[in-house]
Amino acid sequence: MAVTVSLVALFGLVLFFLLRGHTLGYGSAFIAVGFGFFLASTGAAGPINQLAGAVITAIQQL
């Protein structure tokens, strides 16, 4: 679990700087996929899925 959280933090930080520096390419796509993959295996996956469902429901009701 500690390794997963560390990888999420690392991938998130690298992705933040790649997006901020406008250096988007294949490397950024790999970082984004790795970030999503490791984020999905943490305890944050449940609340993120609930938030996404709530946003989709709210958009449908507009």
pLDDT digits (tens, 9 = 90+) for 24-44: 677 777 777 777 777 777 777
b or e along 17-55 (b: 16 or more beta carbons within 10 Å of the residue's beta carbon)? ebeeeeeeeeebeebbebbeebbeeeeeeeeeeeeeeee
Report residue 3's pLDDT band, with 50, 70 and 90 as the boundaries: low
The structure tokens listed for 44 are: 């944050």
Tell me: pLDDT of 5 over 80.
no
At 1 the pLDDT is 47
Tell me: pLDDT of 4 over 50.
yes
3-state secondary structure of 41: coil
Residues 9 and 32: beta-carbon distance below 8 Å: no
